[in-house]
Amino acid sequence: MEKYDAGLALIAQAQAAEQRRSFREAHAKYLEGIEVLLRISKIEENPQTSRMVRGHIARFIEDAEKVADRKDLPTPSPAKDRAERKEAEARKFERDIRWAPAKQAFTEAAELYYAYRSAPCRLLRPADAGSHPNVLVRRAVPGPIDGVGGRTGARRT
C-alpha cells in the first residue's frame, strides 16, 4: 500500500485546497492524484486491492467533478468571511433571545461588511455603453493600495 502514498498525498492536498476554497488548485490536485492512483492500480497484482483502490478512485472522481463545478466561482475574501461569521454569531444570539450580545454582534458585523465593501479600488472598467468613452468606473476590490484607503465612484481620465 506504500506505493499509493504519492497519489493519496495529492488527494489530501486537493481536499485541503477545497477546504480553503481554492477550487482551481483543488481540481488540479485531484486530477494529478487520480492519475497517479490509476497508473499504480493498473499494475497492482492483488485483484482485491485493485478493486478497492478503484472504488476510492471513483469517489475521488466525483469529488473532482464537484470541485470543477465550483472552480469558476470567485474565491471569497477573508474580510467577507469574517463579516459572515460575525453575522451568523449575531443570528444565533438572536435565536437564543440574547438581545444585548445580538445587538453588539450585528453592529460588529455591519462594521466588518462596511470595511469589506469600502475596501480600496484597484480595478477599472469602462462605464456603461451609454456613457462617455473617457469615463471609467471603479470597482471595489479588497486589498490596500499602498496602505491608503480607496473609494468607489466615477473618475474622469
Q: pLDDT tens for residues 120-154?
A: 544 434 444 444 444 444 444 444 444 444 444 44
Residue keyed to cell 488540479: 28
Write out the H or E segment, with its range, that includes residue 122.
strand 121-126
**pTM of structure:** 0.47
CATH fold for the domain made of 2-70: Methane Monooxygenase Hydroxylase; Chain G, domain 1 (1.20.58)
CA dist 57 and 124 (Å) reads 44
Domain boundaries, the chain: 2-70, 76-117, 119-157
Q: pLDDT tens for residues 72-106?
A: 655 556 777 788 888 999 999 988 888 899 999 98
- Which residues are bridge partners to 125 per DSSP? 137
Tell me the pLDDT band of 10, cut-offs 50, 70 and 90.
very high
Residue keyed to cell 480600496: 120
